[in-house]
Amino acid sequence: MSARARPLASLVARRIVLFAALAMLAQLAAVLWEYVREPDNLARLLLERETEALAAGFSLHDGRLGYELPAGLRARYGREGSGYVARVRTASGVILYSQCDESCTEHFLPLELNPPSFWMRMRGEGYPLSFAGGHTVEIGARSAFIELAIDRDPQHAVWRVLADEAVDHMLVPMSLTLLFVLGASLYSIRAALRPVREAAEAADRLDPMQPEGGLDTAGMPLEIAQLAGAVNRSYARVRDLVSGQKLFTSAIAHEIRTPLAIVRLELERIDHPRARKALAELDELSRFIDQILALARLEAADRRGFVPIALDPFLEEIVGSMAGLVFERGGSIGFEPSDNPVVEGQPALLRDAVRNLVENAVRHAGPGVAILVASEPGGAIVVSDDGVGFSAPPRPDAPGFYKRAGGLGIGLEIVRRVAALHGAGFTIAGGAAGTPPRGTRARIAFPGRIDRPAGTEPPAG
């Protein structure tokens, strides 16, 4: 999976929000257009808004009605020549507030007239708005009459009206809708994806080594069942390949080793130096086949076969079983235990790795070599020798890297792969310093021991 993979829910949420925003913009434009086409209606809304704002200035003291222009409106109605005029009076004609020149009498209803609860008169066509009007407001039991006139709306008060309308009639209801749509979509996606998540977990547990097995498509939505079916088919193919490989390796084992055994026994009956040479070649070939088989086993291996391995008895047994070969070739071998670290691993593969390291040492370090296999308390295997030293292996991409039968190439490749499968670090380097450096030291360092090292038990209680 790429690092950029994002959950479906987040993708869908982003898109829903994006399209909702686009829809809002479109609707906003449409709504504004509707309002702008009817200046009368807009003027009425503006009048209502302004009288409401002006009404905040009323106060009642001992039954006496008072008025003071609200602070926020002083720049609009408290100055002459601003283009806005206002007058506040009682029903009986007492003027509570007036910022009015002679235009008052021109714009407003006469003082002696008992005002209607609402009146308005346009004073020009279109924009900017010019109109006059009045509105009765109730303050407690008293009523008052606010009149105002706007001449060409120089402070663009109409925009506030449009903004308020947009919020009240569009943003609030649409946001609520968006919230529900988003919630419902995310919920459906999560619900629809549950079988996918379960299928993914089941796919994780699939074992190509098992003859049976696959994803159970019962209860899955159709599209996901199709995906699971495809996974099952490719898994069946993998299983075929794995079992084919098993067949192949056991066929190699049987069909090649039996003739090798025949050739070997035949050669042993020939008392001639050239037969001895042929025998040595045959041994090389047998070893090479063992390594090929080890590689094939590795291909089919994974971490499922891992068990705890106590390194000290494990290595002691390997050293014991290899001593014959080492002494036969004129070397010697020893084992140095530590505090018996326990690591996780596949015994058969680790044995292949250690065997290969010891065989390498016997082959390349020269006669009389002393090999030491050791465990380390941190959970590591070390195979060192005092031989002629390690020459760097050819680059893995060098031609013929794999062709050096029994040589450094394939043996160390096995060790490297076994170590990699165990998550262990593999290093091989010259041993003791000097010119030329003596010996080789190979080390397989496991990611950690799974037991508690000796001497670090927590105090009882």
Partner 1 sequence: MRLLLIEDSPRLRELVGETIRDAGWRLDAVGSAAEAEAAMEGEEYDLILLDLGLPDGDGLDLVRGLRRRRRMTPVLVITARGAVDERIAGLDAGADDYLTKPFNNGELLARARALLRRAPLAVAPVLEAGALRFDLATLEVSCAGAAIALTPRERAVLEILMRDLGRVTAKRVLEAKLSGFDEEMSTNAVELLLSRIRKKLAAHPTGTAIETVRGVGYMLREVPG
**Interface positions with partner 1 (CB under 8 A):** 250, 253-254, 256-258, 260-266, 268-269, 282, 286, 290, 293, 297, 316, 319-321, 323-324, 327-328, 332-337, 347-348, 351, 372
Pairing mode of beta strands 84-90, 142-150: antiparallel
Between 307 and 392, name the residue whose CB sits nearer to partner 1: 307
* C-alpha to C-alpha distance for 389 and 440, rounded to whole angstroms: 5
Query: Using an 8 Å Cβ cutoff, are 109 and 115 in contact?
Result: yes
CB 348, min distance to partner 1, A: 5
Between 65 and 323, name the residue whose CB sits nearer to partner 1: 323
Amino acid at 78: G
DSSP lists the bridge partners of residue 376 as 380
CB 323, min distance to partner 1, A: 5
Three-class secondary structure of residue 136 per DSSP:
strand
CB 265, min distance to partner 1, A: 4
Cβ burial 141-159 (10 Å sphere, 16+ → b, else e): eeebbbbbbbbebeeebbe
E strands, 296-437, in order:
307-310, 332-336, 342-345, 370-376, 380-385, 425-432
Between 14 and 276, name the residue whose CB sits nearer to partner 1: 276
Helix and strand numbers (H, E) in the chain are 11, 14
Between 290 and 386, name the residue whose CB sits nearer to partner 1: 290
* C-alpha to C-alpha distance for 13 and 2, rounded to whole angstroms: 21
Between 66 and 334, name the residue whose CB sits nearer to partner 1: 334
Amino acid at 11: L
Query: Using an 8 Å Cβ cutoff, are 219 and 211 in contact?
Result: no
Q: Which helix (H) or strand (E) holds 243?
A: helix 222-268
Number of residues that make up the chain: 461
Between 355 and 449, name the residue whose CB sits nearer to partner 1: 355
Between 186 and 263, name the residue whose CB sits nearer to partner 1: 263
E strands, 363-409, in order:
370-376, 380-385
Tokens of 46: 């503006």
CB 452, min distance to partner 1, A: 23
Cα Rg for the chain, rounded, in angstroms? 47
Between 48 and 284, name the residue whose CB sits nearer to partner 1: 284
* C-alpha to C-alpha distance for 389 and 324, rounded to whole angstroms: 23
Between 76 and 355, name the residue whose CB sits nearer to partner 1: 355
The burial class, CB within 10 Å (0-12 / 13-18 / 19+), for 38 is exposed
Distances (CA, A) of 436 to 41, 363, 386, 393: 102, 18, 12, 17
CB 230, min distance to partner 1, A: 34
* C-alpha to C-alpha distance for 246 and 253, rounded to whole angstroms: 10
Query: Using an 8 Å Cβ cutoff, are 359 and 408 in contact?
Result: no
Between 52 and 317, name the residue whose CB sits nearer to partner 1: 317
Name which of 170, 177, 161 is nearest 28 in CA terms: 170
Between 227 and 263, name the residue whose CB sits nearer to partner 1: 263
